[in-house]
Structures are given as structure tokens and as C-alpha cells.
Chain A
Amino acid sequence: MGVLQKSGRIISWPWKYWKWSHHERVNFKQGMLFLLPWTIGFLAFTLYPMVASLVYSFSIYHSKQPLEWVGIQNYAQLLKDDLFWKSLSNTIFLVGIGVPMTLLASFFCAVLLNLKVRGLSIYRVIYFLPSIVPTVASTILWKWILNPQTGILNTLLGYIGVQGPNWMSNPVWSKPGLILLGLWGMGNTIVIYLSGLQDVPIHLLEAAELDGANWWQRLWHVTIPLVSPITLFNLITGVIFMFQYFTQAYVFRGFQGLGYPLNSTLFYSVYLYQSGFLWLKMGYASAMAWILFIVILICTLLLLKVSERFTYYAG
């Protein structure tokens, strides 16, 4: 927020405003005016709610009465709350199984979509299409696909002699069902991978080929290291997304209570919503939100740290 040189380096700070030339002042004012919409939005809809929720997390919130300050009571209660741990473990299942599966599957699809075959752009469109279907709509669609009696998935499994599981009401299969649903909408991840694959320099692949490397060796030793920054990006965004998993679980339970069956789909955000908006424990829910924020922060930093050894940045 100062006057910038063309290189982007700040050469003067606003508190030296009175020393600026007329031109610099006009520039500054105009810049501020353009920043204003975002600044107002950020202050009112991001910073204020965050600070407020931090305050609420140390109190019992009453919408019509003053806050009741209770110190760390909410956090202490959370640690003793079975549902909290249940929802956390459900979410970690999603992060631990769902994210790697999505990465693997989307990388595999991206490699296929990077082959030089006829009708390539049509395939790319087909693979991306599911991602533009609204989440609620695709979830309802998947409820039909996963219906154990009439659903197409179990019908197809039946043709090859496999008795499909009870995706919707068996707590063992409800989370895998949701992961399948998530795989369907991985078009965004595929596109990001695809752009990464196209950045892999042809000369490196050709050099490897001349050295006698087969397709698999070229993939393993050249392509995968070169797209590792993309993998890291997809991994981190995937982890953050899965920690906040809500809509699909909310829609998927249909007529049943949140978390159906048997709290196996009671994910962290779902329980947060239930505590805050259905049980009216807003302070408790705020404490949950902050724990989630910190967990995500730690996970992201950890991933960034660990990834230094596995990520290769060309150039």
C-alpha cells in the first residue's frame, strides 16, 4: 500500500503522504478507491466474522442475550465429546483415503487424456463435464446410482456376479460411496494435471527414449518428478477441501438424520453445523471451527515441509 515502482518494489509508504508529489497522491487515492470494494468486503465478511468467532469460541453464545464468557470450557468439552472424535476420525478417513485416490485417479486420467488419439478434445470434455454439475444435483444423482436395490452400480456389479454392498445404509460402505461420488467430479484436478503434463519438456522425454527407457520408465523417472509441484498443489487443495467436506454428506443422508447411517457420515463440518445451527451451541461450534482451522494449517505446513524432499522445481 505504497507508491510502487514498475518493478513492484515499494519506494514510499503512506505515512510519508505529505512528502509525496501531487501525482503520487492522486495515484494513491485512485488506487485506494479501486481497493475499497475488496477492503470493505474483507473487513466485513472475513476479518470481522473470524475475530467474532474467536471471541464466541471462548463463550456461550446467546443471540438475544449478552455473551457468557467461559474461558476454555468449550475446548475442554470438545476433547471429552465422543461425537467430536467420531466426526474427526470420519473426516480423517476421507482425507487419508479420498485424497490419495483422487490424486491417483486424476493423474491416470490426465495421462490418458494427454495421449495423441483421435477425438481427444471430446474425451477431455467428457471427463470435465461432471465437474460443472452442481454438487447438490450430482449428489442426488449418485443417490440413485448407489441405491442398493435399483441403482445402476449394483446392477452392473450383479452382472459380473458381485453382490453390491448397501452403499447408503451400511456404515462401512457409506464413506467409500461418498469417495466414489467425489471421484466423479475430479475434472478440475485432471485439468490442472493435464496442464502440468503438457509442460513436461519433450526433449527430456525424447532423450530418455533414446537412452532406451520404456513408457513406464519415462513416466516414473521423467514425468512424475516434473509434475511433482502440481501434485503438491492438488494434494494441499484436496486436503483442505476434504477437511471442510459438507454439502455431499448433508444432501446424501436424504430423509435421515445428519450423519446417517450410524454417524458414519458425520464429518467435522457436518457436526459443526449441527452443533451451531441445530443445537444452538454457537460458541461450541466456533471452537470447533478454530480447531479445524488450526488442524488444516498444521497439515498444510507439514505437507509443504515434507514435500521439499519430493518436489522438483524445474528452472
Chain B
Amino acid sequence: MKHKQIWLIISILLIGSMILTACGGKPAEPTLLRVWIQWGDNPAQIQELFDKYTKESGIKVEVTAPLEEDKILPALTGSDPPDVLVLSGGDLVKSYAKEGMVAELSDAIKTGGMDLNDFFPAPLNQCKAGDKIYCLPWGTDMYALFWNKDLFEAAGLDPETPPQTLEELVEFSDQLTKVGADGKLEQIGFLPDQAWGHSDLYIRMFGGFWYSEDGAHVTANSQPVIDALTWQQQFYTKYGVDEVLAFSSGWGDAYMSPDYPFYTGKLAMYVDGEWMTGPNFISKFKPEQSYGVAPFPYPADHPERASTAVVQGTVAVIPSGVKNKDAAAKLLAWMMSPAVVAEEMCVNANLPTSKKAAEDKCFTANPKFKVFVDLMASPNAKIIITTPISLEFNDALGLVEEQVLHTGADAKPLLEQLQSDFEPKLQEALK
């Protein structure tokens, strides 16, 4: 009999405790805040940064970084979300906002005493929908042309002079592409979609975008989009689509390793972001690399488009399910303060989104990084226009880009199809 009673008590306790944990108690004062960060080249450093907040406020902050993309949705919809979620890009924020997954931040901005005038306008604009604001940029990224000076010299080019125009880029690429005796590629001059697609930059360079400027219409079949895809295609068709694909297969997986083709001399020029000039990439994997960075070339007949660049990058959101909104707002405000932005972006070599932070010497001392700082100040710095259908549209555009580049398909009919598929979807979503 005794045994039976003990078992009964144990099982009741077990079930009871399960129910209690499931319901959860509401702590009056937060003792622990959680920050989830999608990227994270150096998670230990990020934790150290947030430990400073603990020193100032007495509230412990637990950092989780990096996050796989499939953790984002649970983070936003779960009943116990992180207090602040830092996303790699702002392109999906409007989709999340439409679903009510992220909090509108006007109150948080007031509570935290944040000054929106301190933000650079371009990165801030990606967070705004009308008079509502759903995210705040926390550092940002821009892309420019990287070139390998040693390969330039070997090909008889001036290692200090990058191509100025798109036409020159093609010429240089031809001179920098080497085919071996067996007919296989040994070195390639320029690959437009390394390590991922950069059609946003090229389309801006050709003078347009895949949405109208107000985000009210899809313009996938507009001339700049067609031109930009067709321009990229030549780097595949000219050197042979299959040859280039076989040569570049698996390059992306080597991105954070010494085997990256830009380091091993297989790729002479490509487009990448400002973080490459920092401590976690080139200087870590190949410190002796001799390379240069310059704004991406412009079309020869449109010199006014020089220094066109696309701002895209990290944004912070507060999930709508956060219980203690004030505590989250204060933490967010601390993250956005110029001193913290300066420190974090300096360490990781990301562009500061706070104007005050950008005055820090750290961002101007490295001439290669300075190229990006100047790009952000350029009047041609553009944002990526986003809409509530960005998620699905980006994947569909990515497929068209792949078909054009990797199979040599004609861009125009594919883009016409994309236009007729997605314009109704956008109108439906904007209703």
C-alpha cells in the first residue's frame, strides 16, 4: 500500500509541475533579458558587449547568436519570445508586421528616449511603413567591388586602378580569366553572383528597381531589371555556363575559410560587403592578401550614377509577444545609443547607423572601410524597397536570376511572367 501512495504522489507532483511550467509565472521585475541575433561572427564578443548593460542596469542579458533562419519564426510567434531580435536584413520586417509578429516601436522609442534624427535616413527608411515604424537599424551593410591586386599585376593591369565603368569591368574580366591547356577554367575575372546574388545593386546601377519607389507596384519587367540580368549573364555565357558552374561549385561554402576563391587566386574581382575589410574575414583567413576596394563601376553613358550603392543590413525588432515591453524598450534604446553602436560596429567592421557614432575615428582610419563610409554618405545610396510579399517575391526573382545566369535563358520573357504573377499578389497584400 505504501508503495502505491508514493507513486500516486509522485505522479500528481509530476503532472502538477508540468501544468505549472506550461502556464508560467509573470515576473514583476525582469532579471534576465534575452537578445537573439541572426548573424554572429563572434558570439563571445557580442555577449561581452551586453554584459556592459548588466553592469549599468543590473539586468542580466543572455545573447544567442548566430541563429538559423528556421529559428526566426518560432522566435517571433512563440509564447516566450526573446526581448530583442536582431535580423540580418530588413526585407522581411513588413511581412512580419503584416502578421502582427513584431511590435510597433513608437512607444518604445518614447520610453527609451531614442532620437530618430541620429539615424542615417536610408537604413531607417526600410523600417517605416507610413507613419509606423517596426524596426530600428543596428549597423548596416553596403557592397562594393573587391579586386585582387596580385592577379591584376600578373595580367598586366595596373593593380591600383580598378575598373571605372561596367564596360571596363567586362574588359578587365576577360583579361583576368584564364583557361588551362585542358580547356578547364583556372581563374575567373568576375563572377556577378558570388557569394550570393547582387541583382539589387546591378539593377540600381542600371537605374531602376523591381518595385516602384513607393512600393505600390511590381516593376519586374522594367528595362533596368532586364538590362541588369542580361548584363550579368555574359559572365556565364562567354566563358561557358557549365564550365563556370563546375569551376565555382562549392565556393559559397568556403566563404568563411582560407579556401575562399578570392584568397586562393581563382577569382579576381567580385562584390562583397564592408565586413570583409574587418578583423573576422580577410585579415583572419588570409592576412597577406593584397586587395583593393572601390565603389562598383557605373554604366559609361551614365556617369551620374557613380557611387550608386544599396544599403541593407541588420535591424532590431521587438517581438509582439514580449511581456515586459518597457524593459525591452530600454534595452533597445541602450543598443541604439551612439557609444554602443560605435563600439559594436567598430569591432565587427559594420557600418554605424548612428550619425554620432559614425564620427568615431575607428570608421575612418581604415581606408578600405572608409570606401563604404563614403558610399553611405553618397547621394546615390539607395535602400532596398520592401513590401509584404518580399518573402515570396525574392525567392521567385532569385529563381529567374538563376535561370538567366546559370542556363543562359532570355531574361525578358521570364521577367514578364514574374511581373504578371506578382503584381496581383502585391495588390492583394496591400489591400
Contact = CB atoms under 8 A, between A and B. Distances in A.
Contacts, number: 84
B100 A64 contact: yes
A170 interface: yes
Nearest to A278: B391
Contact of B407 (A166, A258, A262): A262
Interface in B377-417: 391-392, 395, 398-399, 402-403, 406-407
Interface in B242-256: 242, 245-250, 252-253, 255
Contacts of B195: 255
A224 B388 CA distance: 58
Interface of B is mostly: helix
A311 interface: no
Interface stretch (B69-77, B216-224, B281-289, B331-339): B69-77
A257 interface: yes
Given A63-B99, A63-B101, A256-B252, A280 B73 contact: yes
A169 B245 contact: yes
Given A166-B242, A255-B196, A278 B69 contact: yes
Interface residues of A, number: 33
Interface string B234-277: 00000000100111111011010000000000000000000000
A148 B249 contact: yes
Nearest to A148: B246
Given A169-B245, A257-B395, A262-B399, A62 B99 contact: yes
B88 interface: no
Interface string B59-80: 0000000000110010011000
Nearest to B389: A279
A149 B395 contact: no
Nearest to B399: A263
Interface string A267-311: 000000110011110000000000000000000000000000000
A147 interface: yes
B11 interface: yes
B402 A260 contact: yes
A282 to B, nearest CB: 9
B117 to A, nearest CB: 31
B88 to A, nearest CB: 14
A220 B253 CA distance: 47
A116 B2 CA distance: 58
B320 interface: yes
A168 to B, nearest CB: 5
A254 B399 contact: no
A140 to B, nearest CB: 8
Contacts of B7: 33
A279 B245 contact: no
B95 interface: yes
A261 interface: yes
A148 B252 CA distance: 14
B247 A261 contact: no
Nearest to A281: B392
Contacts of A256: 252
B242 A147 contact: no
A96 to B, nearest CB: 24
Contacts of B101: 63-64
A149 B402 contact: no
Contacts of B249: 147-149, 166-169
Interface in B148-206: 195-196
Contact of A168 (B69, B250, B320): B250
A175 interface: no
Contact of B398 (A62, A148, A257, A278): A257
Contacts of B246: 148-149, 166, 169
A273 B252 CA distance: 23
Given A65-B100, A261-B406, A277 B73 contact: yes
Contacts of B11: 33, 36
A138 B11 CA distance: 42
**Which among A63, A143, A258 has the greatest number of chain B C-beta atoms within 10 A?**
A63
B182 to A, nearest CB: 10
Interface string A127-164: 00000000000000001100111100000000000000
A257 B196 CA distance: 9
B253 A261 contact: no
Contacts of B398: 257
Contact of A62 (B69, B100, B242): B100
A262 B402 CA distance: 7
Contacts of A280: 73, 95-96, 99, 391
Contacts of B100: 62-65
Contacts of B395: 257-258, 274, 278-279
A277 B70 contact: yes
B8 to A, nearest CB: 9
B250 A147 contact: yes
B334 to A, nearest CB: 27
A192 B275 CA distance: 52
A278 B250 CA distance: 24
A280 B388 CA distance: 11
A154 to B, nearest CB: 9
Interface string B91-107: 00001100111000000
A170 B242 contact: yes
B253 A262 contact: no
A262 B399 CA distance: 6
B108 to A, nearest CB: 17
Contacts of A258: 395
22 contacts: A33-B7, A33-B11, A36-B11, A63-B99, A64-B77, A144-B250, A147-B249, A147-B250, A148-B245, A149-B246, A149-B250, A166-B242, A167-B249, A168-B250, A169-B246, A170-B242, A257-B395, A259-B399, A262-B402, A274-B395, A278-B391, A280-B99
Closest 8 CB pairs of A and B: A255-B252, A64-B100, A63-B77, A148-B246, A169-B245, A254-B253, A166-B246, A168-B249
Interface of A: 33, 36, 62-65, 143-144, 147-150, 166-170, 254-263, 273-274, 277-280
Given A170-B242, A255-B252, A280-B95, 14 more contacts: A33-B7, A64-B320, A148-B245, A149-B247, A149-B250, A169-B249, A169-B406, A170-B245, A254-B252, A258-B395, A262-B407, A279-B392, A280-B96, A280-B99
